[in-house]
Amino acid sequence: MAGCASASSTGSHPATTPAAEKSSSAPKQPVAASSQAPVSAEHNPPGDIPDTTVYVAYRAQAIHAVIKVPEGWARQQTAAGVTFSSNLNSITIGAAPMKSAPTVATARSATVPSLGRAALAFRLRSVRLVRLTGGPAVEIVYQLNSQPNAVTGRQDVSPPGGAAPLLRAQELYRFFHAGDDETFALRGVSLQVNAGEMVAVVGPSGSGKSTLLACLAGLDEPDGGHVVVAGQRITRRPEAARAALRARWIGILLQSNNFIDHLSVTQNIHAAQALVKNGTPRQASTLLAEVGLADRAHARPSTLSGGESARAALAVALANDPPVLLADEPTGEVDRQAQSLVLDLLRGRAADRKAVLVVTHSRDVAAAADRIVHIVDGRVTDE
């Protein structure tokens, strides 16, 4: 029986820690992997969040394969084969007859793009032909994150009894000085947003909402506490590292908008996509159609109305299909019809297992959220 070998690596040895194909939506592929020894717990650079992931072997006798999967992932027998899953990712192992022996060229043209579409972040390491007991196979080694040491689903970012949040802030403090006066914008703010959840942050003007959003996005550094995005700490890292994490993992919609003024709306989307290497960008025309601006694709930002500008900024924020979306007053300048469209898009992101956090004064936006976080005087309150 012909087979296809697929491998992923999320550890600090990306070229030597094969695991199975990470895909819950990819088409059935004959899958196998090599039989290397389990990989020990990885060691991260100083200052990063420690990982405790160990890769262990699972033997799939029916397809003559040994698969390396992260220890502790749940296992379930499915019609497609065997599925291993964490809170954010899944690996499906299965086999099916092939009309012809697999080739490297076919894997690169068909299987690799399918894996890239199914992953939050995908980086191809190698594609090669291997020989297994059951016949020839193609081994695909890839990395499932933008950083070699990033492992989603690690225990150190999991809340008790629940799945790891895509966004988590822990005890954030931020203060500003004006002469001898000291103003606390944030006073120990902690929150989290899970995959598939839309959270609204509400509070009076000056309560710290916009400062919180800037810290969550890595645009501002808190004076205390930290922020973790998709298992990676974004606070107190070099600006280049924060920018790379932000570009791949976070879509940001600010009140001041996020445009390069001399570029058209479409060119602004392309500029945002150029910041992410090996990403899975969406078509600019599709994004603009979703926000009702298909006929304004070539317009400059300065020619847009307030409502059009807000919707165009949302399209730019979604350019790289980010797992986390942060929006500051996304419906502040739009009419009722456009507000309904924007809310549908935000809810759609959550329905697609993304994390959405919205800072708002709008009751309609807050009502559309799964959960509301109240901030008063830089503190999270019950009301």
Q: End of a domain among 86, 112, 143?
A: 143
58 within some domain: yes
pLDDT at 325: 95
Nearest to 297 by CA among 259, 269, 333: 269
Q: For the chain, what is the domain count?
A: 2
| Residues 137 and 169 grouped into a single domain | no
136 and 173 share a domain? no
Amino acid found at 178: A
Q: CA 131: distance to chain centroid?
A: 35
What number of other Cβ atoms are within 10 A of residue 28's Cβ? Answer: 13
Same domain, 227 and 366: yes
CA dist., res. 172 & res. 158, Å (int): 18
Predicted model pTM: 0.58
Q: Is residue 88 part of a domain?
A: yes
If DSSP states are collapsed to H, E and C, what string results for 86-130?
Answer: CCCCEEEECCCCCCCCCCHHHHHHHHHHHHHHHCCCCEEEEEEEE
Segment holding 355, helix H or strand E:
strand 355-359
Residue 354: both structure tokens together: 């993304």
Q: Are residues 99 and 184 in the same domain?
A: no
Clarify whether residues 129 and 275 are in a common domain.
Answer: no
* Cα gap 318→323, rounded to integer Å: 9
Q: State which amino acid sits at residue 168.
A: R
34 and 178 share one domain: no
Verify that 207 and 308 share a domain, yes or no. yes
CB atoms within 10 A of CB 35: 13
**C-alpha span between 145 and 6 (Å, rounded):** 16
The segments of the chain whose pLDDT lies below 50 read 1-52, 145-162
Is the distance from CB of 303 to CB of 330 less than 8 angstroms?
A: no
Q: Tokens 């689903």 belong to which residue?
A: 153
pLDDT at 126: 78
Residue 210 domain boundaries: 165-381
In this structure, is residue 153 part of a structural domain?
no
Query: What are the structure tokens assigned to 307, written together?
Result: 């409502």
